[in-house]
Structure 1
Amino acid sequence: MNATRVRDLAVIGIVALIASWLLAEAFYGSLPPIRLLVGASLYPIAVAEVAFGFAIRNRIASHRVGMARGQLHPITIARAVALAKASALVGAASAGVWAGLLLVIAPDRAIVRAAMEDLPGVTVGFLGALALTGAALWLEQCCRTPDDEEDEDTPGGDPSWGTDFR
């Protein structure tokens, strides 16, 4: 499985930004208020993924991955990689949506009271989406075996072949 590319996440974020900016320009007046907790909803997931990343990285570094009792099962690591990839996509798309909203309400915050009230929630949401994306990339990086890093440095090496979990 190939690593998530930041370029792909940037494209997703830009497309989401443009779409949300166009929709917010057209329909901002009919949107409900954006509260602080709405924007903060991605932080617990980001924190959990960072913690999970540290746990997996420590298990891989100490060679405690395998199918024996007390070891981290390789399927768990594969599931963590899938979670990380999905979270990176969600984080990038969410960052784009929040950025599009920021582009609409930030210029109007001094004039429109609703924009001023929505600004903290949108800002917290944007930062939470960036945190989720970063945490997902971190978790994915932590799931790599030492063989993965060696294969990337080898000319012609295929990093997808270095995923044997010892």
Structure 2
Amino acid sequence: MTSATRVRDLLALALFAAIATWLLAGAFYGSLPPVPVFAGASLYPVAAIEVVLALVIRSRVNNHRVGPGPRQLHPIAAARAVALAKASALVGAGSAGVWLGLLLYLLPQRSTVDAAASDTTGVVVGLVAGAVLVAAALWLEHCCRTPDEPPDEPAV
């Protein structure tokens, strides 16, 4: 199986996206359309699906129902869930970084620019959605791990 997604890599991606967005917002914010309240909310359903998937996978792994039979978790399905989790973690980290960069640009502007004050709510919704997606993806990936083997019984 592939190695676990490193939180350090996700943080680096989020930091890069935040810095790039902060710089771009400084140059182009005046020409951007308003940020609706639910602009970043599209990540919430994806996170919810991943949580449900993680619950199903965890249940089947804990009950030793892994295999090609009916009502079992097929190993290929588990591998696909890991791929989904890894991709979602990257999307969530990048999105959270973009929203964080925009928020860092908007916060000092709120007292002088009306648009910055009205955009802040939508940006926070997006930032939280990105963080929730990262958490759901990391948990899904964790649930797909094979359980530890019990130690061998000593010979009597």
TM norm structure 1? 0.87
Q: By how many angstroms is 1:70 displaced?
A: 1.9
| In 2: Cα distance, 1:10 partner to 1:39 partner | 19
**Structure 1 counterpart of 2:131, one-letter code:** L
- Report matched runs for 1:124-143 at 5 Å: 124-143=125-144
Percent of aligned pairs with the same residue? 60
- Runs of 4+ residues deviating >2 angstroms: none
Unaligned segments of structure 2, at least 5 residues: 152-156
- Report matched runs for 1:49-64 at 5 Å: 49-64=50-65
| In 1: Cα distance, 2:139 partner to 2:7 partner | 12
User: Whose helix fraction is larger, Structure 1's or Structure 2's?
Assistant: 1
Q: By how many angstroms is 1:106 displaced?
A: 1.1
Q: By how many angstroms is 1:127 displaced?
A: 0.4
Unaligned segments of structure 1, at least 5 residues: 151-166
| In 1: Cα distance, 2:42 partner to 2:113 partner | 25
Q: Which residue of 2 aligns with 1:85?
A: 86
**Structure 2 counterpart of 1:146, one-letter code:** P
Does the alignment pair 1:119 with 2:124?
Answer: no
Q: Which residue of 2 aligns with 1:102?
A: 103
TM norm structure 2? 0.92
CA displacement, residues 77-134 of structure 1 (integer Å, 9 cap, x when unaligned): 1000000000000111111100000011111112111011100000000000000001
Q: By how many angstroms is 1:147 displaced?
A: 3.0
